[in-house]
Chain A
Amino acid sequence: MVEQSIGKSVLRKEDMRFITGKGQYTDDINLRGQTYGYFVRSPYAHADIGDIDVSAAAGMPGVIAVLTGKQVAEDEIGGLPCGWMIHSKDGSEMKQPHHPVMAGSKVNYVGEPVALVIADSFVEAKNAAEMVDVDYMERDAVVYAETAQSAPIIHEGISANTCYEWELGEKDATEAALASAAHVTNYEFTNNRLIPNAMEPRAAIADFNTATEDLTLYTTSQNPHLVRLIMTAFIQLAPEHKLRVIAPDVGGGFGSKIFVYSEETALAWASMKLGIPIKWTAERSESFLADAHGRDHVTTAHLAMDEEGHFLGLKVKTTANMGAYLSTFASSVPTYLYGTLLAGQYKTPNIYVEVDAVFTNTAPVDAYRGAGRPEATFLLERIVELAARETGRDPVELRRINMIQPSEFPYQTPVALEYDTGDYEASLNRALKMADYDTFGERKAASEAKGKLRGIGFSCYIEACGLAPSQVAGQLGAGVGLWESGEVRVNPTGSVTVLTGTHSHGQGHETTFAQLVASRFGISVDDVEVVHGDTGKLDFGLGTYGSRSLAVGGSALSKAADKVVEKGRLIAAHLLDTDADKIDFDDGEYRVRDSNQAKTFQEIAFAAYVPHDYPLEELEPGLAEKAFYDPGNFTYPAGTHICEVEIDPETGVVEIDRFIAVDDFGTVINPMIVEGQVHGGIAQGIGQALLEGCVYDETGQLQTGSYMDYCMPRADDLPSFAVGLTSTPCTHNPVGAKGCGEAGAIGSPPAVINAITDAIGVRDIPMPATPEKIWRAIASTTRSAA
């Protein structure tokens, strides 16, 4: 079993079905009597709705019903809630506008659903949707975070379009540190808005059974239980025990499938209203318009240092664009997932951050791979780089002298978090070696000799994962607990069914969790089946996001497996006629210590289900255990990314010559899967740094609504990544794992921008750093030098 134990790169069990086209995604499911929904969406960013005339659409071939936002309002369904309460500096609660399931009286972004057409076929629904006549009275649109607070009001009663004005840290102490510093570095920048672009667009089938009054919702979700809870408790669609949410194979989420959206909710409501199954699958254009976007922060920051380069204080002011409404977890992203990370790997004693969250007439903005932590890391690793250059220090050495040392853990930051463990220099040193940093100068000279510019950039990131200690999250405003459930069912023949409340949509849980459990029992991963994504099969679970699945969900499974082992020990003791404390369990065998008497795991399982010789008066039959695990702290993955670029000064085109990532994820179950996660994350981070940028024009029209204009990273945009691991296992969960899903996207963008600005000798270049921006920046340095 050694080849399948923890730490081995077992091939992914799920891949054969995915790569042979046999995955079962929501759109692959077809129900008897299924109808199709198509949404009529607002073409305006900001407009009042007058009459909606559906008569022409209703008369079109195949049309079953046309439902509008006005009917949603009449039925009193919704609105869509935001699950995290943020309080402003003055103690007041954040302003949460009513978020209708479909707009009834006013639209607030382009693409907002206004009506739902249901027909016998997709084409008929779409044809009829074109005939829905909506009377819009256009208003001026509010589009950009920078100007939102002085723009016309979007939501009645929410002044200055401001959701909250939040703060964290010690203002006076930080300002005093800035005032007394030997040097202060200032940085103003925008963290560019992104569109998630999961490979599988969102889709749903709502199926109301008029006989049993059960509603089944198949949907592309990262957390089906959360969908059920919100639809029941907040939207009041159906009682929780009559609502089953199934998230089958899901083709990527990156955060965008955490949320409870208008479309899935409207579909569920319509199915209950009409008593028929209805399917909706987003077209890619709809995904661009109506999936929750990411990032979109405008920030000013000041970093204070003493004469030796020690950081004294960091003061930050960020304006975060929330879009038109608060998406499910939008409010937490620029606050507790952002401000709390501003210490990074450094011993900055004083930190103060203010965040104004503002509404605009754009699609809602919420968590996107990294969620707040990429924004914090970008700020920190850029301003540290600038500070090094301004004061003539080596950027590596400046980071090094400020790093928290291994002997200083647990380390309490000035922004609420307590880091449990880490060794930041170990990752830094390893990355420098892998990058051949010593010989960078030679490569730079070689590039110059052929007319190219070469630069190197560093990023030493930390993130907080393993969401989350429920009581801490609750104190900070979370509307839910953030524990996880796990169940280990040993079958009578000794094979195992594992049930987890997390959800795999590309992460490879069917392999990693099988490895975790199989290695505990000394059985093959092929004898373990992982079940997830169905509220009808599982205990409540919180789903997958925030790199939490192994650290929290794996820990629950680990505890459940412990219980199985212990119960098995009692059974073995009975069968072997000895005391339980004299029995060791190892490599699939219960053995009486210092003897050759043993029972296999399979024999124990059989005895548990066929209890003919069994201590029934003391022990229940069966061998299935569950556990609920609530983490004691966040986990803190950390590492160093190094990017080296070569730039063509004539065109501004960047070639990434090498990209090195050395990460400390604690205990790693499957290094191949972890490396894949890191690769994907880096690709997304490089996408943000070089290629991706969501653009709305001044009227709120999306300019980047297709792949012709929104530039996703492709394989040929990227080098072969060099990925390494260091390890300080998490101290407070039973697996020792920290989480690896987001690190790539968190660590990489500042490494890329630091490399580019190093190469061309400019202070800053906005993301995405397109060739034209770089060409212009080079031209400006040439002019200023001349």
Chain B
Amino acid sequence: MYDFNYHKPSSIDEAVALFIDLEDAVYLAGGHTLLPSLKLRLAAPTDVIDLAGIPGLGDIDYAGDDLTIGALTAHDDVATSPVVQSVIPALSALAAGIGDAQVRNRGTIGGSVANSDPAADYPAAVLGLDATLVTNQRSIAVDEFFTGMFETVLEEGELLTAIRFPKPEAAAYVKYPNPASRYATVGVFIARTTKGVRVAITGAAPSVFRATEMEAALNVDFSENALAGISLDADMMNEDLHASAEYRAHLCTVMARRAVAQLS
């Protein structure tokens, strides 16, 4: 990695002020995307602003049917939180399936979501659960949030501080991991909510997306059979060494059926 200046602010305001003042700064949450990029010299920021010193960003809170998870909450904390396990067990199970123990102890939910990695697990949960993204400036409905591969509506310097999940009636996440990286080749998150069924798919396409055709079918008949005839368009899928677009499209339906099976 190249040399950079390190900062450890103790408040959100201080962090944002630093970001605005500095030439080419990045925020550091769990560092699980940033540090490999730095080590491979793919990223060369002048300044790194470590968020770990800001109090309160790692809190988990359940009030009024909303589960709020601080952006700096580590995957392992989500996986093992009795509150998350009781309110949205699919979310804690998803967190328990990210990477390995070392990754889960350092990687954060906010880092994962803000990064919008097409193969990350959390975006599927955030989109599937109709969450609200809370930043230092505003609250953003998730349907507006993800805009593309590694892209969100977050503005320069805007800091994701918490994610607010409405409690679903039921939810499940099933993924097919890339055998090498263990990232999601395809991960399908299905939630039954008071406003209907939501199906969010990660890994398959350049960005997490809602499978609206599946949602419509499941709203009519919440069963595996309802998905049997649905195949997603391979043209919108990613393709790489590990899985063709056609295979990914096929896996979307298989994983969705398995998620439904868990909920039936």
The docked-state distance in angstroms from the alpha carbon of A707 to that of B176 is 18
The docked-state distance in angstroms from the alpha carbon of A691 to that of B177 is 13
Within A759-786, which residues are at the interface with B (CB < 8 Å)? 770-772, 775-776
The docked-state distance in angstroms from the alpha carbon of A78 to that of B179 is 41
Name A709's contact: one of B176, B242, B244 (CB within 8 Å).
B242
Q: Which A residues are in CB contact (< 8 Å) with B247? A: 772, 775-776
Asked if B251 is at the interface of the complex by the 8 Å CB criterion, the answer is yes
Q: Which A residues are in CB contact (< 8 Å) with B2? A: 127
Asked if B254 is at the interface of the complex by the 8 Å CB criterion, the answer is yes
Q: How would you classify the secondary structure of chain A's contact residues: helix, strand, loop or mixed?
A: loop
Q: Which size class do A's interface residues fall under?
A: 20 to 34
- Chain B residue nearest in CB terms to A652: B247
- Chain B residue nearest in CB terms to A285: B40
Q: Which A residues are in CB contact (< 8 Å) with B181? A: 707-709
The docked-state distance in angstroms from the alpha carbon of A651 to that of B258 is 12
Q: Which B residues are in CB contact (< 8 Å) with A695? A: 241
With A772-B244, A772-B247 as contacts: A707 and B180 at CB distance below 8 Å: yes
- Chain A residue nearest in CB terms to B254: A650
Asked if residues B250 and A775 are in contact (CB atoms below 8 Å), the reply is yes
Asked if B34 is at the interface of the complex by the 8 Å CB criterion, the answer is no
Within A704-730, which residues are at the interface with B (CB < 8 Å)? 704, 707-712, 717
The docked-state distance in angstroms from the alpha carbon of A709 to that of B241 is 8
Asked if residues B179 and A651 are in contact (CB atoms below 8 Å), the reply is no
Q: Which B residues are in CB contact (< 8 Å) with A776? A: 247
Q: Which B residues are in CB contact (< 8 Å) with A123? A: 3
The smallest C-beta distance from B178 to any residue of chain A, in angstroms, reads: 8
Asked if A30 is at the interface of the complex by the 8 Å CB criterion, the answer is no
Number of A-B contacts (CB under 8 A): 36
Q: Which A residues are in CB contact (< 8 Å) with B250? A: 775
The smallest C-beta distance from A340 to any residue of chain B, in angstroms, reads: 35
Asked if residues B243 and A651 are in contact (CB atoms below 8 Å), the reply is no
The docked-state distance in angstroms from the alpha carbon of A712 to that of B180 is 7
Q: Which A residues are in CB contact (< 8 Å) with B254? A: 650-651
Within A111-126, which residues are at the interface with B (CB < 8 Å)? 123
Asked if residues B241 and A651 are in contact (CB atoms below 8 Å), the reply is no
Asked if residues A770 and B176 are in contact (CB atoms below 8 Å), the reply is no
The docked-state distance in angstroms from the alpha carbon of A651 to that of B180 is 16
The docked-state distance in angstroms from the alpha carbon of A710 to that of B181 is 9
- Chain A residue nearest in CB terms to B100: A714
The docked-state distance in angstroms from the alpha carbon of A651 to that of B176 is 9
Name A691's contact: one of B3, B179, B251 (CB within 8 Å).
B179
Q: Which B residues are in CB contact (< 8 Å) with A770? A: 179, 242
The docked-state distance in angstroms from the alpha carbon of A770 to that of B185 is 13
Asked if A703 is at the interface of the complex by the 8 Å CB criterion, the answer is yes
Interface residues of B (CB under 8 A from A): 2-3, 40, 176, 179-181, 241-244, 247, 250-251, 254
Which 10 A-B pairs have CB atoms at the shortest separation, nearest pair first?
A711-B180, A708-B181, A772-B247, A711-B179, A650-B254, A709-B180, A709-B241, A772-B243, A703-B241, A691-B179
Other A-B pairs beyond A703-B241, A707-B180, 4, CB < 8 Å:
A651-B254, A709-B241, A711-B180, A770-B179
Interface residues of A (CB under 8 A from B): 123, 127, 285, 650-651, 653, 691, 695, 703-704, 707-712, 717, 770-772, 775-776
User: Can you list 30 pairs linking A and B with CB atoms under 8 Å apart?
Assistant: A123-B3, A285-B40, A650-B254, A651-B176, A651-B254, A653-B176, A691-B179, A691-B180, A704-B241, A707-B180, A707-B181, A708-B180, A708-B181, A709-B180, A709-B181, A709-B241, A709-B242, A710-B180, A711-B179, A711-B180, A712-B180, A717-B179, A770-B179, A772-B242, A772-B243, A772-B244, A772-B247, A775-B247, A775-B250, A776-B247
